[in-house]
Chains A and B, each alone.
Chain A
Amino acid sequence: MKGTTGSAFGLALLVLILAGAFYAYRTTEQTLESLRMVDHTQQVRIELERVMESLAMAETDVRGFELTNQDEFLDTFEPAIKKTRTSFESLRFLTNDNKDQQKQLNRLEPLLEKKADWLEKKVKAQKEKGAAEAVSLTATMTGKRLMDEIRGIIHEMKETENQLLHDRSLIAQHDSNKALAVVIAGCSTALVLLAFAAWTVRREIAARRQSERTQEAARVYAESIVDTVSDPLLVLDERLRIQRANRSYCHLFKTTRAETEGRLLGELLNGAWKNETLQSSLEKTFSDNERFDDLGITLEIPGLGNRTLLISGCKLYRPGNHTGAVLMAIDDQTERLRMEQSLKHEHYLLGTLMDNATESIYFKDRESRFIRINRFLAGRFKLSDPEEAVGKTDADFFDAAHSRKALEDEQMVMRTGRAINKEEMEIWPDRRTTWVLTSKLPFWDKAGNIAGTFGLSRDITERKLMEGMQLQFRSLFESLPGLYLVLTPDLKIAGASDAYLAATMTTREQILNRQLFEVFPDNPDDPSANGVSNLRASLDRVLKNAAPDIMAIQKYDVRQPGGAFEERFWSPVNSPVLGMDQKVEYIIHRVEDVTDFVRHKTESKMTEGDLRQRMEKMEAEIYRSSQQVQTANQQLRAVNAELEAFSYSVSHDLLAPLRHVDGFADLLSKHANGMLDEKGKHYLKTINESAKRMGVLVDDLLVFSRMGRSEMRRTRLDMNDLLKEVIAQCEQEEPGRSIRWKCQTLPTVEGDPAMLRQALWNLIANAVKYSRPRNPAVIEVGTNENNDSEVVFFVRDNGVGFDMAYIGKLFGVFQRLHRQSEFEGTGIGLANVQRIILRHGGRVWAESKLDEGSTFYFSLPAVENNPTQPA
């Protein structure tokens, strides 16, 4: 339903409504007129009735007066006559449009006047001449005739009016029917039109809705296209404000639509999009409707670095928007450029490799024709340009046999897809031979099929020659008649002469690259075997000094293939082989096998001459005793080590249980306090005391042991200072004693301060202890009998002394000459003194008389003599 049809319809509708209305109006007017006429007729009839009625009333009044002669009846006579005349006048007025009726009225009027005159004549006659006059007048019938005439005219007029009423009612009925018909027709038309209009409106609305839905679908479709396009897109208005940014845009620039849309291009991404060329191109697109393509710009995007972009723009039109919008498509070239760059770089690297490598590099197709070779290989092929080799095969450069072998190799590489690494002898057409170390590998095309092979080969001709020479030298070395081993600094066997292998009954495979002492251990069945440790010591010296080391004749038990050991006497020399940096690179271990010689000597000495026999005997003796000394030293070291370990463990482990005995006995006595009787307390006390005493014993024994073991530190020391310290300590331990000290000036000596202090302490403490019964005790310290070689010190007391019969026990360990209850002690002090003084190269002795006192002497070497250490 379009505009023109719509308005024509409207107009027709209007005309129809107006015509209807007009016609209805007219019809109604007519109807009203008809009704008025009907009404008018009724009026006329009513007035006719009234004329008759009022005249009848006047006649009635006169008749009443006539009969009764009472004046009261005449009261209403005059008004009734008046009423008759008024109604007549109304009739005149009402019927002035009807000539017939006017004519009737003209007839009626004199009759009405005559009647009225007659009635008045009767009344006047009665009043003047009595009732009989009146009755005679009545008997004339004049009145009755008049009345009948009047009644006849009124009746006629009524009939005429009735006819008129009937006619006019018909007309009015007709008119009102017509008007009703018109109204009904108009209403029906209006209803039809309304229904049509309603239907039309509904159709319009449905059509609009459909159109809106179609538009929305189109919009969603367009939006989804914009977001699906992989190129970043921006839609801008003429002020370069972003109306729309698609998903790719947001993804590429790591932003969101909310951050982008509605903002000016120049504001995006902290102004990264500010670019004059782009701006002017976009403005031109708006003003001149000129599209632009692939405008190259570089933007610095925060967080993404420099991006190289190709921008295209074109104008978009939208209905109702005359300025339109610009669609800007962005093509990010950064990755492609980077790839190109990297490809160029790769190409450059490959070119560099191909041009400069000093190994042969080639690529071949499936038929083993060269696709590409590098400059180095071209040189080997005597070609000036590597391109010349393209399309050729090995057969063009090598002799037939070699080419055939190479072809077979390459076929195999392609068949198996596996690389081949091998040393290859190349035979050239001029029969020259070279050696290469070659790797041949397959390469694949895009579809994953093997497209050919490529290879790398290094010229190892020189190395091959060297190897040949080395092999020669090695075989020379191995054939040397002497017994040689070559050892690495970590004592692995690097080489052995055939003679050595024969002498040791081993093979090269058994011993090469293995540890020397793993291969040649000491004979486990011979506890005196020491070959290994001697040899190790010698090799250590060679490594340490970088100088040859000659060993004494050694007895080795050489393991035979069956596992048994055979006795051999060897005289080994170990010589270092120094490298450029003067470090030991190898050790050459040369052995003179003197087994035959030694055996010969021991077996055949009876057949030799006397002198020689004796000499040999002596030699053998020397050898044996040197071996014995070596053994004794070893045993001594072992014993010392054991002793050390023993006393160390005593010091730790023996004391702990003692401490526990004492501690728990103590705790028990506290815990059981009150429950124990005297005997029980005594037992516990004994346990405590015994434990403590054992502790003291162990401690003293340890000190004693330490004095024998610990290393001596010799310094010059003033014995006077030492003495003062010791006296001070002794007095502190026994306060309240009265002791008279007589100390001479003592000489300076050389010795271990801790040890000598210990010795002096033992002697002075003894003197103090055993002079306890004396008051005052007198203790004298001094020197005498000095000579060039030694200084003699003495400590003398006036104590209880001892019986010289027991002097032999005096310096023994745990030897006591008094009971514990008399004088406490462990019997180790003097043993300590003796041990210390002996270690200093001096002597100890004593003199005593029971109850008179004792004198202890000890000597130390004189300082000037610089004595050697005997320990």
Chain B
Amino acid sequence: MTDVRRVLLAEDSDQDIELTLTALDEHHLTNKVDVVHDGAEALDYLYRRGAYASRSPETPIVVLLDLKMPKVDGLEVLRRMKADPDLKHIPVVMLTSSREERDLVASYSLGVNAYVVKPVDFQQFIESVKQLGCFWVLVNEPPPKSIS
């Protein structure tokens, strides 16, 4: 892959970050992942401000969002992204513990592209994340840069 576009992972739990990166590493995708630790940081990253003011203007190829995060939660990040004409084309995957119906409904009605429940079983978890990485980073054709 010559695509330099990054994967953005927004996750507040260090353990989950480590596990997710371990899983993504199965496809050697770890070095393509930028990690932020809450929703506010995710928005800073997406809008290239604060600590991320100088990052390259490429939009991420996919955003993996934890739902429950400090400061700004995942749903709010999703809502802001989908309401912004510049960001709404970026695929967003909710990667979360919860299979609560209201979270699913809220995510889908805000236009999430996929909703993945993190299984407790690590092997299953690895499998889910691997597939996720494989699909969104390697298989899915991202929107052209001109509209994203």
* B121 located at the interface, meaning its Cβ lies under 8 Å from any Cβ of chain A in the complex: yes
Q: Which of B119, B121, B123, B125 has the most CB of A within 10 A?
A: B121
- Annotate B74-111 by CB proximity to A: 1 below 8 A, 0 otherwise: 00000000000000000000001111110000000000
Interface size on B, residues (CB 8 A): 20
Q: How many A-B residue pairs have CB under 8 A?
A: 71
* B138 located at the interface, meaning its Cβ lies under 8 Å from any Cβ of chain A in the complex: no
Tell whether, in the assembled complex, residue B120 and residue A648 are in contact, meaning their CB atoms are under 8 Å apart: no
* A248 located at the interface, meaning its Cβ lies under 8 Å from any Cβ of chain B in the complex: no
> Within the assembled complex, what's the spacing in Å between the Cα atoms of A694 and B120?
9
Other-chain contact of B99, A651, A658, A691, A692 (Cβ < 8 Å): A651
Tell whether, in the assembled complex, residue B97 and residue A652 are in contact, meaning their CB atoms are under 8 Å apart: yes
* B13 located at the interface, meaning its Cβ lies under 8 Å from any Cβ of chain A in the complex: yes
Residues 35 to 78 of chain B near chain A (Cβ within 8 Å): 67-68
Q: A residues within 8 Å of B by Cβ?
A: 647-648, 651-653, 655-660, 662-667, 688, 691-692, 694-696, 699, 702, 706, 710
With a CB–CB cut-off of 8 A, which chain B residues contact A657? Answer: 15
With known contacts A663-B19, A664-B15, A655–B101 Cβ distance under 8 A: no
* B34 located at the interface, meaning its Cβ lies under 8 Å from any Cβ of chain A in the complex: no
With a CB–CB cut-off of 8 A, which chain A residues contact B98? Answer: 648, 651-652, 655
Other-chain contact of A695, B16, B19, B120, B123 (Cβ < 8 Å): B120
The 7 tightest CB contacts between A and B, nearest first, are: A695-B120, A660-B15, A663-B122, A655-B97, A666-B122, A651-B98, A663-B19
Tell whether, in the assembled complex, residue A659 and residue B122 are in contact, meaning their CB atoms are under 8 Å apart: yes
Tell whether, in the assembled complex, residue B100 and residue A656 are in contact, meaning their CB atoms are under 8 Å apart: no
- Annotate B118-134 by CB proximity to A: 1 below 8 A, 0 otherwise: 11111101000000000
Q: B residues within 8 Å of A by Cβ?
A: 13, 15-16, 19, 22, 67-68, 96-101, 118-123, 125
Other-chain contact of A652, B67, B121, B122 (Cβ < 8 Å): B67
> Within the assembled complex, what's the spacing in Å between the Cα atoms of A656 and B17?
11
Tell whether, in the assembled complex, residue A702 and residue B97 are in contact, meaning their CB atoms are under 8 Å apart: no
> Within the assembled complex, what's the spacing in Å between the Cα atoms of A607 and B74?
68
> Within the assembled complex, what's the spacing in Å between the Cα atoms of A38 and B67?
152
Tell whether, in the assembled complex, residue A667 and residue B101 are in contact, meaning their CB atoms are under 8 Å apart: no
> Within the assembled complex, what's the spacing in Å between the Cα atoms of A696 and B99?
13
With a CB–CB cut-off of 8 A, which chain B residues contact A651? Answer: 97-100
11 inter-chain pairs at a CB distance below 8 angstroms, sorted by A residue, are A651-B98, A652-B97, A656-B97, A659-B120, A660-B16, A660-B19, A665-B122, A691-B120, A695-B119, A696-B120, A706-B100
Tell whether, in the assembled complex, residue A695 and residue B121 are in contact, meaning their CB atoms are under 8 Å apart: yes
> Within the assembled complex, what's the spacing in Å between the Cα atoms of A648 and B68?
10
Tell whether, in the assembled complex, residue A658 and residue B101 are in contact, meaning their CB atoms are under 8 Å apart: no
Q: Which of B100, B120, B121, B123 has the most CB of A within 10 A?
A: B120
Tell whether, in the assembled complex, residue A663 and residue B125 are in contact, meaning their CB atoms are under 8 Å apart: yes
> Within the assembled complex, what's the spacing in Å between the Cα atoms of A651 and B102?
12
> Within the assembled complex, what's the spacing in Å between the Cα atoms of A692 and B123?
11
> Within the assembled complex, what's the spacing in Å between the Cα atoms of A742 and B96?
41
> Within the assembled complex, what's the spacing in Å between the Cα atoms of A659 and B15?
9
With a CB–CB cut-off of 8 A, which chain B residues contact A664? Answer: 15, 19
> Within the assembled complex, what's the spacing in Å between the Cα atoms of A648 and B125?
21
Tell whether, in the assembled complex, residue B100 and residue A648 are in contact, meaning their CB atoms are under 8 Å apart: yes
Tell whether, in the assembled complex, residue B16 and residue A652 are in contact, meaning their CB atoms are under 8 Å apart: no
With a CB–CB cut-off of 8 A, which chain A residues contact B15? Answer: 656-657, 659-660, 663-664
Tell whether, in the assembled complex, residue B101 and residue A710 are in contact, meaning their CB atoms are under 8 Å apart: yes
Tell whether, in the assembled complex, residue A659 and residue B19 are in contact, meaning their CB atoms are under 8 Å apart: yes
Known contacts A651-B100, A659-B119; 9 further A-B pairs (Cβ under 8 A): A652-B67, A652-B68, A655-B120, A659-B19, A659-B122, A662-B121, A663-B15, A691-B120, A702-B100
> Within the assembled complex, what's the spacing in Å between the Cα atoms of A658 and B122?
10
What residue of chain B has the Cβ atom nearest to residue A695's Cβ? B120
With a CB–CB cut-off of 8 A, which chain B residues contact A653? Answer: 68, 97
With a CB–CB cut-off of 8 A, which chain B residues contact A656? Answer: 13, 15-16, 97, 118
Shortest Cβ distance from A822 into chain B, in angstroms? 22
Other-chain contact of B123, A660, A666, A694 (Cβ < 8 Å): A666
With a CB–CB cut-off of 8 A, which chain A residues contact B101? Answer: 706, 710
> Within the assembled complex, what's the spacing in Å between the Cα atoms of A699 and B97?
10
With a CB–CB cut-off of 8 A, which chain B residues contact A706? Answer: 100-101
Tell whether, in the assembled complex, residue B125 and residue A659 are in contact, meaning their CB atoms are under 8 Å apart: yes
With a CB–CB cut-off of 8 A, which chain A residues contact B19? Answer: 659-660, 663-664, 667
With a CB–CB cut-off of 8 A, which chain A residues contact B96? Answer: 652
What residue of chain A has the Cβ atom nearest to residue B120's Cβ? A695
What residue of chain A has the Cβ atom nearest to residue B23's Cβ? A663
> Within the assembled complex, what's the spacing in Å between the Cα atoms of A688 and B100?
24
With a CB–CB cut-off of 8 A, which chain B residues contact A647? Answer: 100
With a CB–CB cut-off of 8 A, which chain B residues contact A688? Answer: 122
Other-chain contact of A702, B99, B119, B122, B125 (Cβ < 8 Å): B99
With a CB–CB cut-off of 8 A, which chain B residues contact A652? Answer: 67-68, 96-98
> Within the assembled complex, what's the spacing in Å between the Cα atoms of A659 and B13?
11
What residue of chain A has the Cβ atom nearest to residue B22's Cβ? A667
With a CB–CB cut-off of 8 A, which chain A residues contact B67? Answer: 652
What residue of chain B has the Cβ atom nearest to residue A667's Cβ? B22
Other-chain contact of A658, B13, B68, B120 (Cβ < 8 Å): B120
> Within the assembled complex, what's the spacing in Å between the Cα atoms of A730 and B19?
32
> Within the assembled complex, what's the spacing in Å between the Cα atoms of A133 and B121?
197
> Within the assembled complex, what's the spacing in Å between the Cα atoms of A776 and B122?
35
